[in-house]
Structure formats: structure tokens, C-alpha cells
Structure 1
Amino acid sequence: MFAAVAVALFVTFALALIRAISGPTVFDRVLSLNVIGTKTILLIAVLGFATDRYDFIDIALVYAVLNLIGTIAVLRYLVGDKERS
């Protein structure tokens, strides 16, 4: 069961990576990178459950906070850059 979930996550990784490369706007690329970060969080959680190491959930939560802060920082930089011009 965990292997099927991992394969599905890697398929969504590939689709999000394609979107990040071919996104028509910068915001599409940022959104796809946020999706990749979210899928990474899910992969860490699934790996933790598959190996019976539940401390991986704490790592996934820390990564979720870092992903959120990073996405907000990039978007504030991009939007702030457009407001200055």
C-alpha cells in the first residue's frame, strides 16, 4: 500500500516539475514549486509510517512551515518587485 502511494506521489512530482519548467507565468512556477514542497511533506509522512518511525511526522511539520515561509517570501519579493516599477 505504501509503495502505491509513493509511486502516485512521484507521478505528481513529475507533473508539477513539468509545470514548473513550462509555466507561462512566474506565479505558475511558484505554485508548482509549492506543490512539490507539499508532496515532499506527504512523502516524508508516508516514509515515516512505512518504517514505523513516527518522528518523521515532526520533520514533515517543520518542513511544512519552512515551505510556507519560503513560498510567502518568494511571492512577497515578486509582488514587491512589481510594485516598485
Structure 2
Amino acid sequence: MKAKTVDPRDQTMEVDDPVYRVYFWEEGGGAKEEWELSEGDLDEVLDWIPTRSLGRSHRLWAVIRAPQAVTLIRLRGVDLDTDQWPTWAQAVR
């Protein structure tokens, strides 16, 4: 992980009502169960995940919607549907 100080004046947008997506995987990379969560903060989402995971792996995303586009920002976990894991995750894979 890298950390650096920032100038907060560079931001152009702020979202006060975040939306999250959580994907759960069956053991062995099988079927996914996908949820979208809103009207809660990150701590509530992190508390909710174990209540639904049933021991399954999960991936957590923040959702940004724009006209004709949905962008997901990975917050936790890796994409089990791909063989191209991020560099940081390859060491622990």
C-alpha cells in the first residue's frame, strides 16, 4: 500500500449517499449472489456482509452512476471471475 498527502481542493464531486454492491461466491468459484445496498454507511455494509455470506467469499464495490454508465470501484476482495488478478493480490493468491 502507498500513502501520500493530498490537496483536497482538487476534488470536483462528493457523494453523501453512497451505494454499494456486494457479490458472494459459492465455494470453488461457482454461482454468484449479487446485492445492491443503499441508505447506509460503510460500517453498516461491513456489518451486513457476514450476516449474508454464509462463509462464502465476497467482493465489495462502491457504485457511481452516470448517464448511460455504472462504474464500480473495488473496496474489498478480488474478482474471482478472472485470471488477471491485480498485482498486489497475486502475491497472496
Shorter-chain TM-score tier: under 0.3
Q: Which has more strand, going by share of residues?
A: 2
| TM-score calculated relative to the size of structure 1 | 0.27
Q: Which has more helix, going by share of residues?
A: 1
